[in-house]
Amino acid sequence: MDVARKIFDAPLDPTKGEGFLKGHMIAKPVHIVTARRAPTAVVAPPAPGS
């Protein structure tokens, strides 16, 4: 989540983007090298009658 926070906090360029995205693009592009899913937690099913 720390990487996502840094991307969200990056400065925006008021001239980049088109239409409603104008001004919402980050000034310096971020190159994503890899992406992985975090392991999911195993959740027990609810007890019968709950």
What DSSP string runs through 24-37?
-EESS--------P
**What residues contact residue 22 under an 8 Å CB cut-off, 6+ apart?**
14, 15, 16
Q: What is the pLDDT of residue 31?
A: 87
pLDDT per residue as tens, the chain (50 positions): 788 898 899 999 999 999 999 999 999 988 889 988 888 888 888 888 76
Q: What is the pLDDT of residue 18?
A: 93
